[in-house]
Structures are given as C-alpha cells and as structure tokens.
Structure 1
Amino acid sequence: MTEFFKQPLEAKKVYSMEPGNLEGYGQHFVVSENQKLDWADMFYIMLRPSDSRNLRFWPSNPPSFRDSIEMYSFEAAKLVSCLLRFVAMDMGVEPESLLQRFGGQPQSMRMTYYPPCKQAEKAVGLSPHTDATGLTLLLQANGVQGLQIRKDGKWVAINALDGAFIVNVGDILEILSNGRYKSIEHRAVVHPTMERMSAAVFHQPCKDATVGPLPELVKRDGEALYGLIGYMDFIARFFAAKLDGRDHLESLKS
C-alpha cells in the first residue's frame, strides 16, 4: 500500500474509478463540482468472493501487491468469521444463524493516504459516517493517529495499538442484532506535518440478502427496531445520503 501511494500521480491514475463504479483510485463521495472534498487519497477494491474482483484495478506494481492482498484478505476473513461467532454467542443465538447472512463472506478494502495539511483544523480527512457493513477491520499502517468516534455528542480520539486492528461495528450488525451492537459514527482528521495511512477491510452480507433483525432476537425482545430491507437497496440509500453520520440508519427504524 505504501509503495502504491508513493508512485507518481499518472501511475496511480491508471487505476482511476470509472463512472458508476466504486472500485479503483479516487474519491468515493463526489456528488458536485462545488463540494469540499475529503483531504485523502483513496483506493478501493473488491476482494471476496473472488469472482467479484475486477483485476483491472489490481496493480501489478508494486510486484508484491496482488499476493499480499490475497493473503491479507484470506486472514481477515478468518478473523471476522471468528468474531461473528463470538458476537452470536454473546447475543445468545446460534452462530450459523448470524454467519449465514454473510455467506461467501463478501469483502472489500479501502486503502487511504492522508497527506499532511498545514491548516489541519480546516480540513477533514474523512467525513463523519458509519460503515454500511457488518464488521470493519481497520489497520493503521503508520504511527500517526487520526481516527475519532462520536461518543456522547463529542468527538473522541482513538489511539490505535501498534500491530492491532480496530474493529468497527457497522450498520448491518446493528440491524441484525436488533440494536444490541451499535454502529459507530467516526471520522478521520489530518496532521499538519505528517502523513497517515490506513487500510479498512469491510465485511458485508450477501448481495441478495434481506437485512433485518434476527427473528430469534425479535421474539425475545417483543419488537423489531428495524424494518426489513434488501441489502442492495440499503447500499443505494447509504450512498444517496452522502455520509450523513447516523441519519440514514435512524431512518430505517420501525
């Protein structure tokens, strides 16, 4: 990832996003020529299932990129499967009841480079949002901190442990858990003199899945906090909301 972002702009633009496609190099949430863009350089690719990959966006330079990402994807999927089993046990449901919503383990990855910004207080690296996923594994690739979460109405800095993942609960897990696990609103800030890099691996439900609270939890709770929605419809609403914190998720409540 570091070697990819160090390349000249023209070399990176070979992998630029195409209209209507999130994969590739560039900004994800561009909806107007007049908007303020996040202070970040992004590169997004599909990882799993393997037939969802568009290898046009998988760089051959640096030479180690494809093999490294392949191994990383495999190990991340194993870890998330383990975490979801623990989550199911914590909620008192059969692990397979939760895991089947993630059949085939759909997975994507966003690598982000945040350049230094002399007026850091006037820029946002990544606008406030929640993740439209089940779980996100976030790796801070260098020692520069920048992640913040919203807690009790205030932004709180998260200091990543060296060599450890930050695990974010996403919207889908909040819905499946009937609100037991909360999707965390977060943002990235930038540093005035130092660059920052991170890699987020997103774990989603199946494309054709209908997302709603697990029936056994609804039975136990006596009500469903969220209505049913097709995952692709959910994604369309998520991107239409243009990173609006938790508002789009709150709109799905029954």
Structure 2
Amino acid sequence: MNDLSKAKARSLELEENSFLDQYGDRPVLEVRFNFYPPCSRAEVFGAKPHLDRSAITVLLQDKEVEGLQVLKDGMWQTVPVIPHALVVNLGGLMQVMTNGMFKSPLHTVLTNANKLGMSIAVFDEPEAEKEIGPVDHLVDHMRPRLYRSVRNFAAFNYECFQKGKDSLKELRI
C-alpha cells in the first residue's frame, strides 16, 4: 500500500510521501473477506453502489465468478476476472487528497445466480483523528481547493452512505 501511495504521489510530481505524511504514526490496514452466496436476484446479497472509504483498495477477486462493477459514463461495466491478478481501486480519500486529480469510482458487487463468489479486499486508512485534505501542492489559483478537510473519513463516508448521500459531494467546497 505504501508503494502504491508513493507511486501515485510521484505520478503527480509530488514528494513521494505527500499522501502518507497525512496518515499519522499509526495508520490502519484492514482486510475484509467477502462471500457472496448464489442468488438469482443479483442485487440481494451483493454490495450496494458505494465509494471506498480508503485511499487505496487492493482486491483479489474470485478466480471464476465475476461480480464487481464500476459506473462508467452512466453505465455499469463488469470488471473482468483475471485469475491471480490484483484490482487496485482508488477510494474517496484519494480523491480528496489529490483535490480531484484522481477519481474514486462508484462501484457495486452483484451475486452470481449459480456460484458462490469470494473476494479479499485490503484497505488503507489514516489514523481516525488525523485531518485529511487536499495536498497543498495540488491547490493553486489555476486549480482551487475542491474539498474541505475531514477527520475520520471512514466514519463520515459510512454515515453518508447510510443516509443515501455522496460523501465527496458533501465535502465539496
């Protein structure tokens, strides 16, 4: 996760620790094992459309069962399964830290009618009380600040999700 974060910073010509420096001394790394039982109504046991609360999510998909979809140009697109490959997704936190330079895709997971689907997701998060906002070098007169700073983005994102709100829209200035 640190290497991915540093690579993202270098791609924007930033100091490589620009994102990691906001995380504090005790960042959180969370692993989630997801099981999607077979169901003829794909939306029942899947995941509702959402943005990830992390800066970066690394996902190991099921080798045989598709289910992950991203919203692109107003249409849901299925992410193809590539056995033993990792899917790297940017979460809402990365969109805030990059002042909108990188986008966090709205995504969902659908179940398969006949097969159990599984995935393993790894999320990185800063210390809950660290205030996270756009990196200073990505804000100037040509590109004004788009997001206000926030503490505990994970909890904020979850609250918005429960209320049917978009956390990134709620943070827009």
Relative CO higher for 1 or 2, CA cutoff 8 Å, sep ≥ 6?
2
SS at 2:148's partner residue?
coil
**Structure 2 CA distance for partners of 1:199 and 1:122, relative to 1, 3 Å:** closer
Q: Tell me, yes or no, if structure 1 residue 235 matches structure 2 residue 157.
A: no
Structure 2 counterpart of 1:126: 47
Change (3 A) 1:246 1:181: farther
Tell whether the 8 Å contact from 1:127 to 1:243 is kept in structure 2 after alignment.
no
Letter matched to residue 82 of structure 2: L
Give the distance between the partners of 2:142 and 2:29, measured in 1 at CA: 31
| Greater share of residues in helix | 1
Q: Deviations over 1:56-113 (max 9, x none)?
A: xxxxxxxxxxxxxxxxxxxxxxxx1111111111111101222212344411111111
Runs (5+) with no aligned partner, structure 1: 1-79
TM-score, normalization by structure 2: 0.91
The one-letter amino acid paired with 2:29 is: Q
What secondary structure sits across from 1:219 in the alignment? coil
Aligned with 2:161: secondary structure? coil
What is the aligned partner in structure 2 of residue 155 from structure 1? 76
1:113 to 16, 35, 45: 35
The reply to whether residue 247 of structure 1 matches residue 169 of structure 2 is: no
Tell me the amino acid that sits aligned with residue 93 of structure 1: L
TM-score normalised over the length of structure 1: 0.63
Q: How far apart, in 1, do the equivalents of 2:121 and 2:85 lie?
A: 13
Contact persistence 1:132–1:235 (CA under 8 A)? yes
Residue identity opposite 2:5 in structure 1: L
Q: Of the candidates 195, 203, 208, which is equivalent to residue 124 of structure 2?
A: 203
Residues 102 and 206 of structure 1 are in contact (CA less than 8 Å); yes or no, is this contact kept in structure 2?
yes
Distance in 2 separating the partners of 1:192 and 1:236: 32
| CA distance in structure 1 between the partners assigned to 2:30 and 2:68 by the alignment | 20
Residues 1:188 and 1:122: Cα distance change in structure 2 (over 3 Å):
closer
Deviates more, 1:105-114 or 1:147-156: 105-114
Q: How many residue pairs were aligned?
A: 172
Please tell me the root mean square deviation across aligned C-alpha atoms, in Å.
1.9
In structure 2, the residue corresponding to 1:159 is in which secondary structure? Answer: coil
**How far, CA to CA, are the matches of 1:89 and 1:129 in structure 2?**
27
Unaligned 5+ runs, structure 2: none
- Secondary structure, counterpart of 1:223 in structure 2: coil
* 8 A Cα contact 1:128 1:245, kept in partner: no
Q: Which runs of 4+ in 1 moved over 6 A?
A: none
Asked whether the equivalents of residues 139 and 166 of structure 1 are also in contact (C-alpha less than 8 Å), the reply is yes
- The percentage of counterpart residues that share the same residue type is 31
Cα deviation for residue 211 of structure 1 reads 1.1
* Structure number with larger C-alpha Rg: 1
